[in-house]
């Protein structure tokens, strides 16, 4: 009598699968109209910031493979609160994504603009559990004056170890040549951080960005080596 063959071990998931499976667990956590309404959390938080219409909400929806998690819109200025999304398998939250309101939208009254710049700066400087920042930038516009202000605000924290990614969105609108030039400039501007091209439309840069966020949130763990 022959013994039954041992069940073949399931192949280990790739690094891309681990990261995208983790991001897919994203669920709405809370929304705050002001900084003081944000719950204090003891979990790594990754903030998506950038000018209005840069593609922050679309990027969050794309990375989490959810259509309407963050509210994306053709109309700039759509995101007006800080929205938090929880991440983690089996309902155990191990990190948080924050979708921040965009800045620089011309039609917003000046007083509101100043108020939001202060909220943003305060958030970036004081949020204790902030682990990383994704600054989204439409490379056709380049870094704006307000992006520059934001870079200055976060520089001391980046020097102290805060993770930073300059994500060039809507890369589908660029020719190959324009894209590689924009990426080279972005790498210089990213200081101690990283720069990548991203397109929700063409699904470009998704695995790369997902794996980076996973590593930021799990510094002690290793992604499967083969696909890193």
Ligand X SMILES: Nc1nc2c(ncn2[C@@H]2O[C@H](COP(=O)(O)OP(=O)(O)OP(=O)(O)O)[C@@H](O)[C@H]2O)c(=O)[nH]1
Binding site for ligand X (CB under 6 A): 50, 52-58, 72-74, 76-79, 101-102, 169-170, 172-173, 199-201
> 106, 117, 136, 96: which is closest to 217 by C-alpha?
96
Return the SS3 of 135.
strand
Compare residues 173 and 187 and give the one whose CB is closer to ligand X: 173
Residue 172 or 207 with smaller CB distance to ligand X: 172
Which CB, 35 or 185, lies closer to Mg ion? 35
CB count in 10 Å sphere of residue 36: 8
The residue at minimum Cβ distance from ligand X is 102
55 class by beta-carbon count within 10 Å (0-12 exposed, 13-18 middle, 19+ buried): buried
Q: Least distance in Å: CB of 62 to ligand X?
A: 8
Shortest distance (Å) from residue 18 CB to ligand X = 24
Q: Which is nearer to ligand X, 171 or 223 (CB)?
A: 171
The CA-atom distances, in angstroms, between 51 and each of 29, 84, 185 are 23, 18, 18
Maximum Cα interatomic distance, the chain, rounded to a whole number of Å: 84
Binding Mg ion (rule: CB under 5 A), the pick from 57, 64, 83, 210 is: 57
Site residues for Mg ion per CB under 5 A: 56-57, 79
């Amino acid at each position: 009598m022959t013994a039954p063959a041992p069940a073949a071990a399931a192949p280990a998931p790739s690094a891309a699968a681990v990261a995208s499976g983790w991001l897919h667990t994203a669920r709405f956590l809370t929304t705050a109209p002001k900084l003081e309404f944000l719950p204090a959390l003891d979990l790594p938080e990754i903030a998506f910031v950038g000018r209005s219409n840069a593609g922050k909400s679309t990027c969050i929806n794309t990375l989490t493979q959810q259509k309407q998690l963050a509210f994306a819109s053709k109309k700039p200025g759509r995101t007006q609160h800080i929205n938090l999304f929880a991440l983690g398998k089996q309902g155990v939250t191990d990190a948080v994504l924050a979708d921040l309101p965009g800045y620089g939208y011309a039609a917003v009254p000046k007083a509101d603009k100043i108020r939001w710049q202060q909220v943003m700066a305060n958030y970036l400087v004081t949020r204790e559990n902030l682990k990383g920042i994704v600054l989204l930038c439409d490379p056709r516009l380049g870094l704006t004056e307000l992006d520059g202000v934001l870079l200055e605000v976060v520089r001391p924290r980046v020097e102290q170890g805060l993770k930073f990614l300059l994500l060039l969105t809507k890369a589908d609108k660029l020719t190959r040549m324009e894209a590689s030039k924009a990426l080279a400039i972005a790498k210089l501007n990213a200081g101690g951080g990283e720069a990548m091209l991203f397109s929700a439309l063409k699904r470009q840069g998704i695995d790369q960005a997902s794996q980076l966020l996973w590593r930021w949130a799990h510094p002690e763990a290793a992604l499967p080596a083969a696909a890193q």
